[in-house]
């Protein structure tokens, strides 16, 4: 399976969750939505990043089977472990493909720039975290204001 | 920071190469280290000036001896840690172009406050 996961920890929000329950709010549902929307974004960006124009040698070694593209985690669903929800993103390493090679590179091949932006640079992940936070806080605000 | 990283890793007496820097025709050394600069982000600012930057690298060890792959990786990690670098991921497997060699890597960051 994928070794990249996104997660959101809701511990410390117990009081708020209970208040929202009285207002028929579903914070868990909002967090699940936030994670699944973020995973969808990662999936689309990863799919774009493995298109020939972004690959080393412009996809010359991609092969007709497009195993790397097929190994992208698609339609991932969030799972809950106590107060933490998580979701798999990236490449499913149990399938054939060069996702791992492309992210880390090899001594003879530089890492792939488009995938590096997604999986290795702080800015991309920080933006995802901010987007997930906005989905949850918008939902809470809406419920609190009687929406 | 790249120069500082190379200087430190070179004290282990193995070749230090940028990831992807080995030519297709060039043979893998028995044991060697590669690095790649993943990110260089502003960490803090004061009075509209950068006060610190977080510079992150992947460091990988490749060897035709699996035992060396692990032990040199640990040496590199310990060396960087002792010199103020922050280990953000301890270890993971990395792909080798050569079936004779195994590779392991770790992620490391440095909080740069001078020469920004």
Confidence at A145, pLDDT banded by 50, 70, 90: confident
Residue A50 has pLDDT above 60, yes or no: yes
- Which candidate from B20, B56, B60 shows the least CB-CB separation from A108? B20
Confidence at A20, pLDDT banded by 50, 70, 90: low
Residue A1 has pLDDT above 60, yes or no: no
Residue A101 confidence (pLDDT): 83
Average pLDDT over chain A reads 83
Q: How far is CA B80 from CA A80, A121, A138, B9, in A?
A: 37, 21, 43, 8
Confidence at A25, pLDDT banded by 50, 70, 90: low
By a Cβ cutoff of 8 Å, what residues of chain A touch chain B? Answer: 3, 100-101, 104-111, 116, 120-123
The per-residue pLDDT for range B22-37, each reduced to its tens digit, is 999 999 999 999 999 9
Q: A147, A119, A142, A127: which is closest to A37 by C-alpha?
A: A127
What does the CA dihedral A33, A35, A36, A40 come to, rounded to 10 degrees?
130
Mean per-residue pLDDT, A33-47: 94
- Cβ contacts of A100 on chain B, cutoff 8 Å: 94-95
Q: How far is CA B41 from CA A39, A123, A124, B13, in A?
A: 24, 8, 12, 30
List the single range of A17-26, B35-44, B75-84 with lowest mean pLDDT. A17-26
Residue A122 has pLDDT above 80, yes or no: yes
Residue A84 confidence (pLDDT): 87
Q: Which residue has the higher pLDDT, B16 or A11?
A: B16
Q: Say yes or no for a CB contact (<8 Å) between B97 and A111.
A: no
Q: Say yes or no for a CB contact (<8 Å) between A108 and B24.
A: yes
CB A85 within 8 A of CB A10: yes
- The partner residues of B63 in beta bridges, in order of sequence, read B31, B102
List the single range of A3-17, A62-76, B14-28 with lowest mean pLDDT. A3-17
Share of chain B above pLDDT 90, in %: 83
**What ipTM goes with this model?**
0.91
What does the CA dihedral A61, A66, A67, A72 come to, rounded to 10 degrees?
120
Q: Say yes or no for a CB contact (<8 Å) between A106 and B32.
A: no
Q: B107, B35, B96: which is closest to B64 by C-alpha?
A: B96
Q: Which helix (H) or strand (E) holds A26?
A: none
Residue A49 has pLDDT above 70, yes or no: yes
Indicate the pairing of strand B31-46 with strand B16-18.
parallel
Calpha distance B19→A39 (Å, rounded): 29
Residue A42 has pLDDT above 70, yes or no: yes
Average pLDDT over chain B reads 95
Q: Say yes or no for a CB contact (<8 Å) between B23 and A108.
A: yes
> Dihedral sign, CA of B73, A49, A110, A95?
positive
């Amino acid at each position: 399976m994928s070794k990249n996961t996104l997660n959101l920890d809701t511990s410390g929000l117990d009081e708020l969750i209970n208040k929202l329950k009285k207002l028929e709010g579903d914070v868990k549902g909002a967090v699940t939505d936030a994670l699944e929307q973020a995973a969808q974004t990662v999936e689309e960006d990863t799919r774009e990043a493995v298109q020939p124009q972004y690959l080393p040698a412009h996809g010359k070694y991609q092969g007709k089977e497009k195993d790397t593209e097929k190994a992208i985690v698609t339609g991932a669903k969030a799972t809950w472990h106590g107060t933490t929800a998580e979701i798999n993103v990236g490449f499913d390493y149990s399938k054939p493909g060069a996702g791992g090679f492309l992210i880390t590179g090899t001594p003879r091949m530089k890492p792939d720039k488009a995938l590096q932006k997604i999986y290795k640079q702080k800015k991309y992940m920080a933006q995802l975290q901010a987007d997930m936070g906005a989905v949850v806080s918008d939902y809470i605000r809406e419920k609190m204001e009687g929406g | 920071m790249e120069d500082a990283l190379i200087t430190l890793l070179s004290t282990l007496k193995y070749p230090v190469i940028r990831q992807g820097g080995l030519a297709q025709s060039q043979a893998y050394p028995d044991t060697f280290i590669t690095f790649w600069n993943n990110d260089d982000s502003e960490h803090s600012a004061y009075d509209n000036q950068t006060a610190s930057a977080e510079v992150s690298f992947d460091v990988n060890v490749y060897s035709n001896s699996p035992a060396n792959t692990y032990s040199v990786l640990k040496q590199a990690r310990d060396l960087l840690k002792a010199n103020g670098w922050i280990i953000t991921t301890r270890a993971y497997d990395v792909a080798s172009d050569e079936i004779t060699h195994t590779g392991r890597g770790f992620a490391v960051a440095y909080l740069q406050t001078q020469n920004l």
